[in-house]
């Protein structure tokens, strides 16, 4: 019987897929020196889940295949696909619109009248660490949540940096779902939503449906239960039924 791993972590997913998809060897991460230098320059410490991901596979091509991960700069330089806080973008907006006028966002006009330490009365400050492939949204972590090991991830739901809404219940659930999207950009997945066919395919692959449905050890992973068959290089991704969407099974097979 082939070896199967259930509920694989984002790091396990990248380490499996990277050499198969890109033929560039094992996934590589940033060094402890780079991460620590960034943290010292930025005056923060990254949440454990995100820090571990950067160290394990932060340089993997899969992180940039569709939606793009932002990288830590040793000197905490801003913008250009580097980790940057949303308040730094606001600073840039204030400089771009140096005089109040019709071009100001409503929120920007309010912020202009406040010292930076009071901006929290208008909008939160988020560490931006991932970006949608067309720049439609950023994924960010609240500055005050950075001390949590696996915090909630938010996104700017109005296509600006002032309005934010919850995106994923944890960093790990965000990483898992986003890396799966990036992987599907490289390998076309077969998707089935007929319940009987799902059970038939799982039975043929020797996948235990009950084990496949076990919860992840982190919040927010219920829409992408996984089973990796390492012998056939087949990844089964099961999504539970949700509002306006049936349960589905995706099959991703790497050559």
User: Dihedral angle at the C-alpha atoms of 182, 188, 192, 197, nearest 10 degrees?
Assistant: -130
Same structural domain, 163 and 217: no
Alpha carbon distance 248, 222 (integer Å): 12
Which of 159, 177, 195 lies at the terminal end of a domain, its last residue?
A: 177
Give me the number of domains the chain comprises.
2
Q: Which token pair is 227?
A: 């089973």
Residue 24: inside a domain, yes or no? Answer: no
Which of 148, 177, 206 lies at the terminal end of a domain, its last residue?
A: 177
Same structural domain, 153 and 195: no
> 3-state DSSP: the chain helix, strand, coil percent, rounded to 5?
35, 20, 45
**pLDDT score recorded for residue 76:** 97
Residue 199: inside a domain, yes or no? Answer: yes
**pLDDT score recorded for residue 159:** 86
Domain that holds residue 99: 32-177
Comparing CA positions, the residue from 215, 135, 219 lying closest to residue 175 is: 219
**pLDDT score recorded for residue 230:** 93
User: What average pLDDT values come out for the chain (255 residues) when binned by 10 residues?
Assistant: 90 96 90 98 98 98 97 97 97 79 76 94 97 95 98 95 96 96 94 96 96 91 87 94 89 88
**pLDDT score recorded for residue 254:** 84
Same structural domain, 146 and 212: no
Same structural domain, 88 and 197: no
**pLDDT score recorded for residue 25:** 82
Same structural domain, 61 and 94: yes
Q: Count other C-beta atoms under 10 Å from residue 167's C-beta.
A: 21
Same structural domain, 167 and 192: no
On whether the CB atoms of residues 228 and 20 are closer than 8 A, the answer is no
On whether the CB atoms of residues 126 and 155 are closer than 8 A, the answer is no
Residue 21: inside a domain, yes or no? Answer: no
Same structural domain, 151 and 224: no
Alpha carbon distance 128, 93 (integer Å): 16
Alpha helices in the chain (DSSP H): 10-22, 32-42, 48-57, 86-96, 106-112, 171-186, 195-204, 209-212
Same structural domain, 173 and 213: no
Residue 22: inside a domain, yes or no? Answer: no
Same structural domain, 156 and 200: no
Q: Which token pair is 97?
A: 């619109």
Residue 104: inside a domain, yes or no? Answer: yes
Residue 25: inside a domain, yes or no? Answer: no
**pLDDT score recorded for residue 221:** 74
**pLDDT score recorded for residue 103:** 63
Alpha carbon distance 240, 192 (integer Å): 12
Which of 177, 196, 220 lies at the terminal end of a domain, its last residue?
A: 177
Residue 54: inside a domain, yes or no? Answer: yes
Model's pTM, two decimal places? 0.94
Same structural domain, 148 and 228: no
Residue 223: inside a domain, yes or no? Answer: yes
């Amino acid at each position: 019987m082939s070896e199967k791993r259930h509920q694989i972590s984002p790091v396990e997913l990248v380490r499996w897929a990277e050499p198969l998809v890109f033929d560039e060897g094992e996934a590589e991460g940033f060094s402890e020196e780079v991460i620590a230098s960034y943290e010292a320059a930025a005056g923060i410490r990254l949440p454990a889940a995100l820090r571990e991901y950067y160290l394990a596979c932060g340089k993997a091509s899969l992180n940039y295949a569709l939606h793009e991960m932002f990288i830590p700069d040793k000197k905490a330089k801003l913008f250009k696909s580097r980790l940057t806080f949303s308040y730094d973008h606001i600073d840039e907006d204030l400089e771009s619109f140096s005089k109040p006028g019709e071009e100001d966002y409503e929120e920007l006009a309010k912020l202009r009248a406040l010292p930076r330490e009071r901006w929290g009365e208008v909008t939160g400050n988020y560490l931006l660490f991932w970006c949608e492939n067309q720049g439609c949204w950023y994924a960010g972590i609240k500055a005050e949540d950075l001390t949590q090991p696996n915090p909630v991830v938010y996104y700017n739901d109005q296509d600006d940096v002032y309005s934010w809404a919850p995106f994923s219940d944890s960093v790990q659930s965000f990483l898992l779902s986003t890396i799966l999207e990036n992987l599907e950009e490289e390998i076309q997945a077969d998707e089935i939503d007929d319940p009987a066919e799902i059970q038939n395919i799982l039975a043929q692959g020797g996948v235990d449906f009950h084990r496949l449905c076990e919860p992840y050890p982190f919040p927010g992973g219920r829409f992408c239960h996984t089973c990796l068959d390492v012998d056939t290089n087949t990844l089964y991704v099961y999504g539970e039924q949700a509002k306006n969407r049936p349960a589905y099974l995706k099959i991703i097979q790497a050559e």
